[in-house]
Amino acid sequence: MRDLARALYAEVADLPIISPHGHTDPSWFAGNGAFGNASELLLVPDHYLFRMLYSQGVRLEDLGIGGHPADPRAAWRILAERYELFRGTPSRTWLDWVFSEVFGLEVRLDGETADLYFDTITEALQTEAFRPRALFERFGIEVIATTESPLDTLEHHQAIRQSGWSGRVITAYRPDPVIDPDFEGFQANLDRLSELTGEDCRSWQGYLAAHRQRRAFFAQMGATSTDHGHPTAQTANLSSTEAERLFRRVASGGHAPAEAELFRGQMLTEMAAMSLDDGLLMQLHPGSFRNHNRKLFEAFGRDKGADIPMRTDYVHALKPLLDRFGNERDFTLILFTLDESSYARELAPLAGHYPCLRLGPAWWFHDSPEGMRRFRRMTTETAGFHNTVGFNDDTRAFLSIPARHDVARRIDCGFLAELVAEHRIEDWEAAELARALAYDLAKKAYKL
Amino acid sequence: MRDLARALYAEVADLPIISPHGHTDPSWFAGNGAFGNASELLLVPDHYLFRMLYSQGVRLEDLGIGGHPADPRAAWRILAERYELFRGTPSRTWLDWVFSEVFGLEVRLDGETADLYFDTITEALQTEAFRPRALFERFGIEVIATTESPLDTLEHHQAIRQSGWSGRVITAYRPDPVIDPDFEGFQANLDRLSELTGEDCRSWQGYLAAHRQRRAFFAQMGATSTDHGHPTAQTANLSSTEAERLFRRVASGGHAPAEAELFRGQMLTEMAAMSLDDGLLMQLHPGSFRNHNRKLFEAFGRDKGADIPMRTDYVHALKPLLDRFGNERDFTLILFTLDESSYARELAPLAGHYPCLRLGPAWWFHDSPEGMRRFRRMTTETAGFHNTVGFNDDTRAFLSIPARHDVARRIDCGFLAELVAEHRIEDWEAAELARALAYDLAKKAYKL
Amino acid sequence: MRDLARALYAEVADLPIISPHGHTDPSWFAGNGAFGNASELLLVPDHYLFRMLYSQGVRLEDLGIGGHPADPRAAWRILAERYELFRGTPSRTWLDWVFSEVFGLEVRLDGETADLYFDTITEALQTEAFRPRALFERFGIEVIATTESPLDTLEHHQAIRQSGWSGRVITAYRPDPVIDPDFEGFQANLDRLSELTGEDCRSWQGYLAAHRQRRAFFAQMGATSTDHGHPTAQTANLSSTEAERLFRRVASGGHAPAEAELFRGQMLTEMAAMSLDDGLLMQLHPGSFRNHNRKLFEAFGRDKGADIPMRTDYVHALKPLLDRFGNERDFTLILFTLDESSYARELAPLAGHYPCLRLGPAWWFHDSPEGMRRFRRMTTETAGFHNTVGFNDDTRAFLSIPARHDVARRIDCGFLAELVAEHRIEDWEAAELARALAYDLAKKAYKL
């Protein structure tokens, strides 16, 4: 079985990388400037790393998180001395890959080698071969999607396109800041959206028109998808009169918490309607309790490793949207979850029935060997492989992208080898599926 | 370990089939007429198949679902050309078994062999050897239970009994149409029940008497069990005055949704009380959101692959019934679930304590290799094997019955071999258990 | 892989036992009297055993449970004749270990050997080598914690300390009887607490002072931890005025059910505040529906194998406490669960972020090979190993303690071997971790 897994993997290991959803910074590819140093590149932006260090008593200030000044070499040493904390985690696998494959470091990272690592990495980053575009090419990335707010001018994406560089970097439409009434600065965001679009975003029709305009602009900048990071998967299907009335309350800030939830739900359905017109597929990433640690949020801001998954219902929550668009063949809604108990119970049965639904890969905390295996074991028998969409790295840790795709390819090949060993599929089918999971399905589902 | 699994399996592979719960059509065995053609037999009644095709854009009209006319050969071709969608699903395993073991087809099903398959199967079906009774005997079925509503006259069961044929086909009492106030036609069903029984089913006492009468008649037609397909596992234990008052509201149609739920819950407890009198064991199949796709339901009717599992609570829901009958030794309630998170958390602890409780096998979406493995791994350590009841095929796909039992026997033997390999049981114990899981436990639990 | 697992295990198999949480009886070690007979020692106190027998129709009266008189030899025979019910359960593994390792019994337990077993065990128990202290030493126990209520005088612990015996037996502070308004005798318990401490436990400040006093006394008797067995993980963070007002309602017995829940939640936060002062770490064991079987509870009392796990939320429930103390580095809260769906979704992300949180091992129904494997597979990738605390046997079945630790060591070594086989850690790291999981982490987390 291990031999078969290895043989399957050998055939897909070098396929180009399709990265249809993630959070890399387009300015890297626009400016192609050198990355700063080991800590700035690998530690400070990686909430997987600093959350674990924090859980074991390290102060975020000492790592230079949240704008607090810290000596990058000293911060790196803190990581190095505690690298054993990451045993058994995917962060360890990804970092080891970066150290050895990208920087050629073969000694073990610990307190004694901390400086060697810091210097080797930091020096390499000053060379041409480690500029963003050079790494993009070296990594074999065929296309990568970033994620931007409607309020983003997409100037970096424009610069990339005008630069003549052949790398394909596209955007994705993530409208949470102007859709979620609980988002910081929601009111100001509406005003900014009005300015950007020339629409009156205090009126329901103007607000919807502004979305349509920005979506069209994003599509022009290569976007093939939208993305929605709501606390729940709740959708709604209000009459247009009710929707307008709700919008007025939300836009004036005088809404109740339940109205914020209802508005987010209604906007998912509105976005679906727009998708049917402009062809952008939808992604829904629900179920994270954002910024759970109040004091940390106040001192260091959002996205500091304190987002905690919640139990998430899909069967009731999605019904309003599905009642309206569930049977559409020209609309795609890709569902993600942080609640694995929904894989076999809700998500696979939904995706194995509704024409518009597809399942995104194991997400975030579950983007790991065990997590990916659970995903395949709990979804395949009901939804099959063709209702899934290949792999997303979903990361801002640019250097780890090949490692993440590599882990996914290995785990999927391992799973396929199990199916062959149990006579559930033939080996030639496993080979076809290995390629589909590594490359074809992502390309097709995301229209890339 | 694989060798031991194979050895265990070899000893149980040919045991007779006990099929204590399922949905085959008794008219097949009564009339013993020829099945029609490949699509009519294998595709149209199998919601596992057409739901997957539908999820990938196939129109149900083109498959001849829901009474829509379609060319059966063309429908079969649609399946054949998309057979790869089923890779990794149990449907694929079952169908492959039917193709090779029942029809001797050894080439691969795809677009090129679609006609060969259609013709081979359809021609075979016209022969004596493929009539229902001949297949029943060829499959080694010792006994099979169908499932009928109290409104069913059981004429086919009567015909089978009077025919002199030795095959044992029994019924089971599934009273949802006259117990669930949300069932289509509930009011008319009460009237029909009055007619059938001569009881006044608009009075609480008459209604209960009608149940008793029909249960007795079902038992006479071989039934050993009742079956209940409620949306939740909620039970209730009202005083007889309260129950009567609730029935009056429900029977008049003027009830609130919560009263429908309460009535279903009360009727589970009433059915338990009758079971103590007449010895029929109870089965509870809760947790399916039936007909989730509104438009599909309106166009094609119920049971069209759009039933989606929901989170299901047992620990609170069953308490009213268990408070009353939980400690009875002469009463059996077999619990099923679509929510695997309840296996280790609620179901195994409940069944490992209450004398009346047993656990049904992995059900529906979970009737699959991975699903069965999860069932054993998550229930055995707390409930043991003897609080489980062997396998149910629970299918209307008659030809797949041996394949389904075969998968269950293989997976159980694999699990037992693991236990032996880890020195948790001895090999002779595994052999005893393999037989118990394949045959003895079902026979005993269902009194067959 | 099996070879590596065995090699890892060989290095940790004989490490001393750290038992930081459990329910053995301190009077055993104080008085060092002989245990009575096989049934009294092994069957009557073990709710794992008699719940399974009860589920299969055995009457508890016949086993001598709940103070009902029964012939111990006859009770033992009932177990022996039904020993096959335990196939595949951890009880079987633990008992087999006790039979062979402690009593040298090598024949199989069944009806024929029932008397041999009963006599061998009962006779051995009369000898010096089977007295509690001798077994403690033979088992290689370095330290064991019992669990007592604040109302306990700890006289047995005092006696142990004064006896000159070198065995280390410590207590732990379990204040449920005086914290949970739903606990039997809560009002009388408050009075008893007043008497014991000389504080007025009908006043909020007196009540808190009484806790502080008893905690100090428990710490003097070796306690390093408190333990809380609440129905949910709900915490609260009321102002001191609100808390006082709530206490008055609760202490007068005139509270609503929701107020009992709120009070329990507030007291968890108060206990956390005291922990910051006195250094006792906290353990939270939530999510059990205690005494689910009403009739059994009325006839036999509490803790009779009828406690059933419930779905348990942590992400919202713990927030009030975490908002206040979550970022403290000198406070430890060890979380347990009976709801495995929270492992990957809530518990690992929480423990992988908050400095104060650690994860207790697989608990109760999940203290088993499959349960432990699920725990490691679902928590390690997000929380790592260092946010876990090694093993707890959590048992009152004294003789099974070495067997329980042995199972945990084997399973952990198996898991580590898997990680090595998949190149996720190095073999020398696995060896370090095997030792940490078997010994170091428990010692460090529990300050032993």
Q: Determine the distance in angstroms separating the CA of C315 from the nearest CA of chain B, rounded to an integer.
A: 18
Q: Are residues A207 and A247 in contact, defined by beta-carbon separation less than 8 angstroms?
A: yes
Confidence bin at B272 (pLDDT 50/70/90): very high
CA-derived radius of gyration, chain A: 22
Tokens of C42: 């092994």
Roughly what angle, to the nearest 10 degrees, separates helices B204-220 and B240-251? 90
Q: What is the DSSP string of A359-407?
A: EPPS-GGG-SHHHHHHHHHHHHHHHTTTTB-------S-GGGHHHHHHH
3-class secondary-structure state, position A15: coil
Query: Is the model's pLDDT at C335 over the cut of 90?
Result: yes
Look at residue C67 in the predicted model and tell me its pLDDT.
85
- What's residue B66's pLDDT? 86
* CATH code for the domain defined by A2-35+130-445: 3.20.20.140
The length of chain A is: 448
Chain B segment 424-443 residues within 8 A of C by beta carbon are 424-425, 429, 432-433
Residue B422 has pLDDT above 90, yes or no: yes
Contact list, B93 vs chain A (CB under 8 Å) = 424
- Segment B328-332 shows an average pLDDT of 97
pLDDT at B105 over 90: yes
Q: Chain A closest CA to C385's CA: distance in Å?
A: 7
CB–CB contact A306 C344 (8 Å): no
CATH 1.10.2020.10 fits domain A36-129? yes
Nearest CA in chain B to C97: B424
C-chain CB neighbours of A309 within 8 Å are 315, 345-346, 349
Give the start-to-end residue ranges of the domains of chain C.
2-33+129-445, 34-128
CB of B88 closer than 8 Å to CB of A424 = yes
Burial environment of residue A432 by CB neighbours within 10 A (0 to 12, 13 to 18, 19 or more): middle
Bridge partners, residue B335, by sequence:
B284, B359
Distance CA(B297)–CA(C203), nearest Å, equals: 63
- Work out the pLDDT band at B67, boundaries 50, 70, 90: confident
pLDDT computed for residue C1 by the predictor = 82
pLDDT value at residue C412:
98
Phi-psi region of A222 (alpha: psi -120 to 50; beta: other; left: phi over 0): left
Query: CB neighbours (10 Å) of residue C165?
Result: 16
The yes-or-no verdict on residue C395 having pLDDT over 90 is yes
Q: Which amino acid is at C325?
A: F
User: How many CB contacts within 8 angstroms connect chain A with chain C?
Assistant: 109
C34-128 CATH, one of 2.130.10.10, 1.10.3720.10, 1.10.2020.10, 3.90.550.10: 1.10.2020.10
pLDDT > 90? residue B173: yes
**Beta pairing, strands B308-309 & B288-289:** antiparallel
pLDDT of residue C123: 97
pLDDT of residue C153: 97
pLDDT > 90? residue B375: yes
In this predicted structure, the answer to whether residue A1 has a pLDDT above a threshold of 90 is no
Spatial distance between the Cα atoms of C21 and B202, rounded to a whole number of angstroms? 60
Q: Give strand pairing partners of A284.
A: A228, A335
Instruction: Provide CB contacts within 8 A for C15, sequence distance 6+.
Output: C140, C409, C435, C438, C439
In terms of CA atoms, which chain C residue is nearest residue A95?
C424
* Rounded average pLDDT over C214-236: 98
The mean pLDDT value for B167-185 works out to 97
Does position B1 have pLDDT exceeding 90, yes or no?
A: no
pLDDT at A77 over 90: yes
Of residues B55, B88, B311, nearest to A351 (C-beta): B55
Residue A67: predicted pLDDT: 85
Evaluate if residue C103 carries a pLDDT over 90: yes
Question: For residue A382, which residues of chain B lie inside 8 Å, CB to CB?
Answer: 89, 365, 368
Query: Span C363-373, mean pLDDT?
Result: 98
- Residue A134 is predicted with a pLDDT of 98
Q: Convert the pLDDT of each residue in A267-302 to its tens digit.
A: 999 999 999 999 999 999 999 999 999 999 999 998
Please write down the HEC assignment for all residues of chain C. Answer: CHHHHHHHHHHHCCCCEEECCCCCCHHHHHHCCCCCCHHHHHHCCCHHHHHHHHHCCCCHHHHCHHHCCCCHHHHHHHHHHCHHHHCCCHHHHHHHHHHHHHCCCCCCCCHHHHHHHHHHHHHHHCCHHHCHHHHHHHCCEEEEECCECCCCCCHHHHHHHHCCCCCCEECCECCHHHHCCCCCCHHHHHHHHHHHHCCCCCCHHHHHHHHHHHHHHHHHCCCCEEEECCCCCCCCCCCHHHHHHHHHHHHCCCCCHHHHHHHHHHHHHHHHHHHHHHCCEEEECCCEECCCCHHHHHHHCCCCCCCEECCCCCCCCCHHHHHHHCCCCCCCEEECCCCCHHHHHHHHHHHCCCCCEEECCCCHHHCCHHHHHHHHHHHHHHHCCCCECCCCCCCCCHHHHHHHHHHHHHHHHHHHHHHHHCCCCCHHHHHHHHHHHHHHHHHHHCCC
pLDDT digits over A109-139, tens only? 999 999 999 999 999 999 999 999 999 999 9
Nearest to C362, CA basis, from C343, C377, C375: C375
Residues on chain C touching B380 (C-beta within 8 angstroms): 88-89, 370
A424 → closest Cβ in B93, B295, B310: B93
CB pairs under 8 A between A and B: 109
Domains C2-33+129-445 and C34-128 share a fold: no
Contact C387 A340 (CB under 8 A): no
Q: Which two tokens stand for residue B200?
A: 């006044």
Percent above pLDDT 70 for chain B: 100
Q: How confident is the model at residue B254 (pLDDT cuts 50, 70, 90)?
A: confident
pLDDT band at C143 (very low <50, low <70, confident <90, very high): very high
Write down the mean pLDDT value for chain B: 97
CB contact under 8 A, A295 and C353: no
* pLDDT band at residue C209 under the 50/70/90 scheme: very high
Is A375 near chain B, with CB under 8 Å?
no
When pLDDT is cut at 50, 70 and 90, the band that residue C437 belongs to is very high
The pLDDT of residue C66 is: 86
What single-letter DSSP state applies at residue A251? H
Report the number of secondary-structure helices (H) and strands (E) in chain B: 22, 9
Of C88, C338, C341, the CB nearest to B381: C88
- DSSP for A281-301, written as a single string: EEEE---EETT--HHHHHHH-
- Band (pLDDT 50/70/90 cuts) for residue A146 is very high
Q: Flag whether pLDDT at C163 surpasses 90.
A: yes
Nearest CA in chain B to A357: B55
- Tens digit of each residue's pLDDT (9 = 90 or more) over B122-137: 999 999 999 999 999 9
A87–C316 CB contact, under 8 Å: no
Mean of pLDDT values over C214-240: 98
Residue B419: closest C-alpha in chain C? C88
**Token pair listed for C351:** 């423990």
Checking A210-217 for CB contacts under 8 A at 24+ apart, the result is A210/A150, A211/A150, A211/A175, A211/A178, A211/A270, A211/A271, A211/A274, A212/A274, A212/A277, A212/A278, A214/A150, A214/A173, A214/A175, A215/A173, A215/A274, A215/A278, A215/A280, A216/A278, A217/A154
Q: Does B373 touch chain C (CB under 8 A)?
A: no
What SS3 state is found at B14? coil
Q: Is the pLDDT of residue A203 over 90?
A: yes
CB neighbour burial string for A294-328, b if at least 16 within 10 angstroms, e if fewer: eebbeebeeebbbbbbbbbbbbbbbbbbbbbbbbb
Q: What class has domain B2-33+129-445? A: alpha beta
